[in-house]
Amino acid sequence: MDKNNNNNKIKITLVNDNSDLQQKLMIELRHLGYQVLGVKNTEELKDLRKTWTSHIYIFNDLLGVDAELILEQLVKSKDIGIIILAARAGNLDNTHGLEKSVDIYLTKPIDLRALNACIISIYESLIPQIKSTFWLLDIKCQILISPDNRLLNLTNYDIKIITGLLEISGQTVGRQKLYEILNFKSCDI
């Protein structure tokens, strides 16, 4: 499969208690260019969410009551996507997952091309399709979106500079003001 250049902007979290399947999926998704981290249970997921902002969460089945609770918390956020990889194909399981506002419910064995298409579809629905001359700054995901929907990953310093400059829009900015925006002293640089 060809590596999609835009995939490297998409952050995915895998929640899977099967370490073999977890490693296989992580390798395949990274090969496609995605940024992927994996955890084996919801407790690890809670810890990871403190330091990692994911666009898409992929759950291996609904791993018990704890997983359903965290799933309910995740679906409250409108700017993420959720995929469940399920061992069972029964209509009851599928309906239950969709009732929880899961975006996609796939049954195993997983076809990587189908999973890739689902990830791209979900991600594109998360990014506003703005047809204008304006740039869009998404501070939470730390990306800048160009008028033609190209994505640029930003650092914390990039965010500080952009937001600082937006606050003083229309004014000439000297070096000292940039230092202030970044909370640097002149001698720090």
Closest CA to 165 of 140, 186, 144: 144
pLDDT of residue 94: 45
Q: What percent of the chain has pLDDT over 70?
A: 73
Residue 178 exposure: Cα atoms within 13 Å on the Cβ side: 11
Q: What is the pTM of this model?
A: 0.61
3 state SS of 142: coil
Mean pLDDT of the chain: 77
Which top CATH class is 5-126? alpha beta
**pLDDT above 90 coverage of the chain, percent:** 12
**DSSP secondary structure string for all residues of 73-132:** HHHT-TT-EEEEEES---HHHHHHHHHTT-SEEEESSPPHHHHHHHHHHHHHHHS----S
Higher pLDDT, residue 3 or 11: 11
Question: So what's the pLDDT on residue 91?
Answer: 43
pLDDT by residue (tens digit) across 41-63?
Answer: 878 888 888 888 888 989 886 55
Domain spans of the chain? 5-126, 136-188
Q: How confident is the model at residue 92 (pLDDT cuts 50, 70, 90)?
A: very low
